[in-house]
Amino acid sequence: MKKGIIVASFGTSYEKARKLSIESIENRIKEKYKDYLVLRAFTSQMIIEKLKKRDNYIVNNIKDALDEMKFNGVKDIYIQPLHIIPGHEYEKIQKQVKIFLNQNKDYSIKIGKPLLYDDKDYKKVVRGLGLLALKPDEAIIFMGHGTDHEVDKSYEKLEKTFKEEGYENVFVATVEGKNALEDIIPILKDREIEKIILRPFMLVAGDHAINDMASKEEDSWRSILEREGFIVEPILQGLGEVKAIQDIYMDHLKNII
């Protein structure tokens, strides 16, 4: 019997970001696991609806993808999330799987880990990003999504790992979490930082990266920092574009297979 893999991400409505980050990982999985049925799923129903309405582009949610596996007679299923932390979206996958298994008891479903799960993941991510040495007056700020889930502390742990790996002027702030950009600005000034490189710590360089981080809109991070007198260079590259980050997801999938 054929086996199946569901590649599950939050999703994005930006086609370019989808191709660069999500599809590039999916293609690597299809290449490695040629005998498996590989399906895409988004966990954001809002993005699924937006794509359907705007582009007539259909993407499965987790339930739809599991139903498609069932329709194709696939009973051994592996789900690899492309989420960053084990927060609400990851738990959404677990709930959907539980419901499906209650109704289909002869199925086997295993769920892989998101990017940041074990301690070793943090080190792998920091090293895998291959950051170049910064000048004393330069800093990097990563924009994480953030969450009201308790795993929001993952972003603090990530910043701590950067410091442990020798990146003193690398910071992590979030859009919706506890680590606010405003908290970092006094530290930057205290260290006499002049130039800031802004990068998304998200799977895709989508809406948050383009609008909230890099745009010239009044409340974007770029604008906030420029008003504070910093030179700002935004880099629009999702984590899913970085081969070493893809490797971590591939390892997490390999571990459950």
Q: How many CB atoms lie within 10 A of CB 155?
A: 24
Q: pLDDT tens-digit profile of 70-99? A: 999 999 999 999 999 999 999 999 999 999
Q: Is 230 annotated among the ligand-binding residues?
A: no
Q: Is 124 annotated among the ligand-binding residues?
A: no
What confidence category does residue 64 fall into, taking pLDDT thresholds of 50, 70 and 90? very high
The reply to whether 144 and 210 lie within a common domain is yes
Say what angle helices 62-71 and 88-103 make with each other, to 10 degrees: 30
Q: Is 176 annotated among the ligand-binding residues?
A: yes
Q: What is the pLDDT of residue 1?
A: 57
**DSSP for residue 239:** G
Residue 145: inside a domain: yes
Q: Is 149 annotated among the ligand-binding residues?
A: no
Average pLDDT of span 3-15:
97
Among candidate residues 83, 145, 149, 252, the one labeled active-site is: 145
**Structural domain containing residue 88:** 3-115+242-256
Average pLDDT of span 142-147:
97
Tokens at residue 56, please?
Answer: 């007539």
- Is 149 among the catalytic positions? no
Q: What percent of the chain has pLDDT over 70?
A: 100
What is the number of structural domains in the chain?
A: 2
Q: What is the CATH number of the domain that holds 177?
A: 3.40.50.1400
Average pLDDT of span 199-221:
97
Q: Is 85 annotated among the ligand-binding residues?
A: yes
Q: What is the pLDDT of residue 185?
A: 97
Q: Is 87 annotated among the ligand-binding residues?
A: yes
Q: What is the pLDDT of residue 187?
A: 97
Residue 61: inside a domain: yes
Give me the chain's average pLDDT, please. Answer: 97
Q: Is 89 annotated among the ligand-binding residues?
A: yes
Q: pLDDT tens-digit profile of 124-138? A: 999 999 998 899 999
The reply to whether 164 and 217 lie within a common domain is yes
* Antiparallel, parallel or unpaired: β 36-42 and 3-9: parallel
Residue 233: inside a domain: yes
Residue 123: inside a domain: no
Burial class (CB in 10 A: 0-12, 13-18, 19+), 219: exposed
Q: Check if the beta carbon of residue 128 is closer than 8 Å to that of residue 185.
A: no
The reply to whether 54 and 87 lie within a common domain is yes
